[in-house]
Chains A and B, each alone.
Chain A
């Protein structure tokens, strides 16, 4: 009696679920077959798909979807929040493309390879996604890229900065694949700006670098050290800690055996909090200037690191607030999301979304029944051809391997007492 009732309920649920799926599944099947180049899929309209790697097909009245691979949970969730705001503002501004609404689907790519893989697989399986904004962390970007690329899709990262992602030179560790773009600056720029600032502006002659083993921090520390040596400075120490370490005193003691003028540790909270707070306690490092990078350019950093952060420098994306477009953007942020962006890559996400939507608009063909056809290769080509694009983060021009930022939107911030007391962002003291 009881069992048969249960069976009945289960069957009912199953039937309901199946019927609910049936409607959206049908066009998905069509889009799949059009990937193989079948022209019948276009449904007898005037536009046909002749793209080398297939088309995205949006049925009449269906929304097109912008995917997002962001860190929504975990320690770097503020980066995801920051980018998500930029994406949403850009999408809301656009409203519709050729009569189709635009929806946003964000998947959590964490700040790890596993997260990037999972998020990419989810979005790559969705035939209505026109393009993906993300990831935030280079480590998840590196894992997501092969999946996105082989699915014929494309991703535009708002905050991946690792140089390997846009290097096609596999012997030098490059992992670029077609379909990868970014509006974030390459670390080769940021590391150089940091080293130039330390050597030219601070007049430092010795530098120590510490990274946390992540590709982001490791490459940034290495580039800064190389450029600093090139400029004529001396690198006294190059070391590393682990993500998750809380006691930085041993490594700081090691650094203090030959105290440098500047200590550069370009990694994330909370490791950067510990590093900044504990550095000042070490005998020999009282006069060492501390410097970190965009990974710690977040409003909670000075509050957590406390007094020790006063006088510290942070390199990172910089936008001139006198730029009226950016001021408008901030006003929109306050209105739609509230407050100020929590980190420095919101404008990059906004630019990335706009570039994607522009490309979609340029490439999309509407067939007579209202179906929208977007060639995947054509979309990539349109993005690669981006030149002198006026974005919030400056003029964007993409090269063959997807580096769209030119490195102009960078600056060095100085943390003062006001930031420790809650002000954000800190004043900018140097721009290249």
Chain B
């Protein structure tokens, strides 16, 4: 880092801060102040106008939390692979689609055979297992066929390959399952809402949030407490030294793809519980982009960062348009939810270029 080479006090408090500012710093600072001011003005206006009740804010936040949990589960796949291989697996959205789309057919079968009605928990577990297995299979195949042969290549090459693989997977599944939109069957036990603290909260949202939480805790445990997790952390720290220490790098990489795939498959079914409609070969594209954004927002390569980034992005998307844009007097604010989300991305990155929980030491490896 250039900054760290300079004398210790380089922050805002140092005496010569203003003297050393270049025009880039001025522009950046102006941008920070502008965005912050817009956010504060918009939010104050909306809150003062009293257009939304507290119950509506709670439902917006819950909907963001549920959406964010799904983003987070997919984002973990990006961040795990980046942590180990320093590459962006742009086909990860399609890994998610593969599991979700295949599990739809199992779900349809369980609904028609009556298993879903008689034993809903078992039926949903079957969906999750099928989705996770398919996604894991696709992820490992992707690694073996598309990425491993290019491991020594310049970093742009696997990136382009990933985009190609993404199209390949989309159209393969289109060929396999057709172009129409499918819907998961409704799971009766998670319909309706419960009253918590006087607010009506959809049961499906709670199910999404808590099942995602359980999966994320399991992942955290796996990485922090198991031997394989330790090996993963070692490989992400330094591949060459890990190899010298007797770690089988290929195995660790395959395991990473398996993990990412399993989480993506599970996310596909969880998404299907929450929003049964829209199962299609193209369903992985937007969640993939959003999850990638979430991973960058949280600090790519960092596992807690991906979780936090996903949930942050989900909530901003859901609450942002009503809270900020509405107050600024912008019509059809919801159409601009992506603008809000990406403005927040810029906002976070101009304060913390490495992401919310990103580590600075990554630069050494890059």
Contacts and interface: CB of A to CB of B under 8 A. Distances in A.
A and B: real partners?
A: yes
Nearest to B174: A73
Interface in B285-344: 285-286, 317-319, 321-322, 326, 331-335, 337-338
B67 interface: yes
Contacts of B319: 250
Contact of B335 (A78, A239, A283, A303): A239
A247 B318 contact: yes
A270 B181 contact: yes
Interface stretch (B141-149, B238-246, B270-278): B270-278
B36 interface: no
Contact of A249 (B59, B180, B326): B59
Given A241-B334, A247-B318, A270-B277, A257 B51 contact: yes
B337 A250 contact: yes
Contact of B334 (A240, A274, A278): A240
A307 B275 CA distance: 14
A77 interface: yes
A254 B333 contact: yes
A283 B275 contact: no
Contacts of B317: 247, 250
A242 B179 CA distance: 20
Given A254-B333, A254-B334, A304 B181 contact: yes
Contacts of A281: 193, 202
B280 interface: yes
A241 B335 contact: yes
Contacts of A337: none
A277 B276 contact: yes
Interface string B178-210: 011111001000000100000010100000000
B336 to A, nearest CB: 9
Contacts of A254: 52, 321-322, 326, 333-334
Contact of B332 (A73, A239, A257, A305): A239
A300 B181 contact: yes
Residue of A78, A250, A300 ringed by the most chain B CB atoms within 10 A: A250
Interface in A277-291: 277-278, 281-283
B332 A273 contact: no
A213 interface: yes
Interface size class of B (residues with CB under 8 A): 35 or more
Contacts of A239: 331-335
B282 interface: yes
B194 to A, nearest CB: 13
B79 interface: no
Nearest to B200: A283
Nearest to B53: A257
A74 B283 CA distance: 11
B55 interface: yes
Given A239-B334, A283-B200, A256 B277 contact: no
A306 interface: yes
Interface string A74-92: 1101100000000000000
Interface string B130-153: 000000000000000000000000
Contacts of A246: 275, 278, 286
A240 B52 contact: no
A414 interface: no
B320 to A, nearest CB: 9
B45 to A, nearest CB: 15
B56 A256 contact: yes
A303 B179 CA distance: 16
A253 interface: yes
B254 interface: no
Contacts of A307: 186
B278 A250 contact: no
Interface in B150-190: 174, 179-183, 186
A24 interface: no
Which of A241, A247, A306 has the most B CB atoms < 10 Å from its CB?
A247
Contacts of A74: 179, 282
Contact of B183 (A75, A238, A249, A273): A273
Nearest to A301: B181
A246 to B, nearest CB: 6
A251 B319 CA distance: 10
Given A239-B335, A242-B338, A246-B278, A75 B59 contact: no
A269 interface: yes
B322 A306 contact: no
B110 interface: no
A77 B282 CA distance: 13
A11 B335 CA distance: 56
Contacts of A256: 56
Interface string A235-269: 00011111011110111011011000000000001
Interface in B198-233: 200, 202
Given A257-B52, A283-B200, A306-B183, A274 B275 contact: yes
Interface string B62-98: 0110010000000000000000000000000000000
Interface in B30-59: 51-53, 55-56, 59
A249 B55 contact: no
A306 B63 CA distance: 20
B129 interface: no
B247 interface: no
Most chain A Cβ neighbours within 10 Å, of B64, B67, B200, B275: B275
Interface string A215-247: 000000000000000000000001111101111
B279 to A, nearest CB: 9
Contacts of B115: none
Contacts of A77: 179-180
Interface centre among B59, B285, B319 (most CB of A within 10 A): B59
A249 B277 contact: no
B249 interface: no
A256 B319 CA distance: 15
A34 to B, nearest CB: 41
Interface of B: 51-53, 55-56, 59-60, 63-64, 67, 174, 179-183, 186, 193, 200, 202, 275-278, 280, 282, 285-286, 317-319, 321-322, 326, 331-335, 337-338
Given A254-B333, A270-B181, 13 more contacts: A74-B282, A78-B180, A239-B333, A241-B334, A244-B286, A247-B275, A247-B317, A249-B63, A257-B56, A270-B280, A274-B275, A282-B59, A304-B278
Q: Which 4 A-B pairs have the closest CB atoms?
A: A270-B278, A273-B277, A240-B335, A251-B334
